[in-house]
Each structure stands twice: as structure tokens, then as C-alpha cells.
Amino acid sequence: MRGEYTQLACSFCDKGKIETWHIPSVWIEKRTGKSSLGKGKSVKKTSEIWIIKSGCNICGKSAEEVEKELKRKQII
């Protein structure tokens, strides 16, 4: 799977490191195949994906809680 391993700071205590897997959004080309009009191609952007792999080992928040908080703060 493409993507990269990234560490984010815990958004609760700011000291812990949260292990995440980050898959950036990419443009993909789709061939429609059927179209005799236009070029028969379209592009679309996939959404960015963050997979939270661990909770915080400093304040003890679970991966789920950390994910919620990071999303609420629009960090991920």
C-alpha cells in the first residue's frame, strides 16, 4: 500500500507521539472507454487518508479518541 509513516503530536497533551499512516490524496486518471465525445478520460482526486495506529503513551488516550480530536482540530 502506498503512503508514508508519520508521527503526529498528541493533540491532548502535546507531548506524546501518535503513530499514523498517511496516504496523501492523488489525482487519478479514469478512462471512461465509452465516450465518442471528448477524450474519453476523466480525472478525479482521491481523498486523503489518515490511519491512526496508536494512542498516546503519555496521557493514555486511545487511538480512537486521538483520531476524533485530530479531526475536530482539522489537523487530519
Stretch that binds Zn ion, among 4-12, 21-29, 32-40, 68-76 (CB under 5 A): 4-12
Residue ranges in 32-61 that form contacts with Zn ion under rule CB under 5 A: 56, 58-59
By CB under 5 A, is residue 10 in contact with Zn ion? yes
Stretch that binds Zn ion, among 10-18, 23-31, 36-44, 46-54 (CB under 5 A): 10-18
Helices (H), the chain: 63-72
Cβ of residue 50: shortest distance to Zn ion, in angstroms?
17
Spatial CB neighbours of 49, under 8 Å, sequence gap ≥ 6: 3, 22, 23
Cβ of residue 13: shortest distance to Zn ion, in angstroms?
3
CB 60 within 8 A of CB 40: no
Site residues (vs Zn ion, CB under 5 A): 10, 12-13, 16, 56, 58-59
